[in-house]
Amino acid sequence: MRDYDYHPNELDVRVFGVPEAGVLVRTDEMFLGQTREPASSEWGTPSLVLRHYAFAGEWFKLNATLDDDGELIETGAAGDEYVVNCDIATPLRWIGPDATAVDLFLDVLVRRDGSYRIVDRPDFDDACSRQLISGSEARNAESGLKSLLHWITSGRLQDLLDEPARHLAAQAPPPLPFGRSPLVDVPAVAPHSRSTW
């Protein structure tokens, strides 16, 4: 399946490919997929499993990094490590077998101990001022951030991360090749016409 991820300050749409073997949950309400990412000298990380969560009823997506045993592992630059990168984004919308969402710039980085940092606030404010996201999307992004922080502080996020059986991490397939698609080919995420605008 394809996961279309549109960043409104870019001219095209990012396309992440998840093999069927990496799809753990695909319902109207949620998508959970996992892929084995190669070691990265840029990020200083070993090969790891990336689990991606998207929700039809929430204004955020989650990307958790795990080892083969299904244990969360911290990635990122020294001093900025995290186990979950949370993207404030429009809710999951299915277009046939494919997932779509629009990144709304705000991010929350969660460490293994449950502490977190909100990042990219200037990028969000800039996108709002340039009308790259609508007023409605901006308000929902702020509401989604509050909801996400409640998930983090109440333990709901950790409960969600603990749900898939740990042994499944070892079965994560490599991702399909990353690509980009012209925005005109993915009208579900286009400004002014997308359902969240």
**pLDDT of 40 strictly over 90:** no
143: helix, strand or coil: helix
Place of tokens 């901006």: 138
Lowest mean pLDDT among 37-51, 57-71, 82-96: 37-51
Q: Give the pLDDT confidence score for residue 42 in this predicted structure.
A: 61
2-183 architecture in CATH?
Answer: Beta Barrel (2.40)
DSSP state of 73: -
pTM for this entry: 0.94
pLDDT value at position 79?
A: 80
pLDDT single digits (tens) 98-129:
999 999 999 999 999 999 999 999 999 999 99
Query: Amino acid identity, residue 136?
Result: S
CA angle 150, 156, 159 (to 5 degrees): 160
Average pLDDT over residues 157-173: 94
Flag whether pLDDT at 44 surpasses 70. no
Q: How confident is the model at residue 80 (pLDDT cuts 50, 70, 90)?
A: confident
Domain ranges (residues) in the chain: 2-183
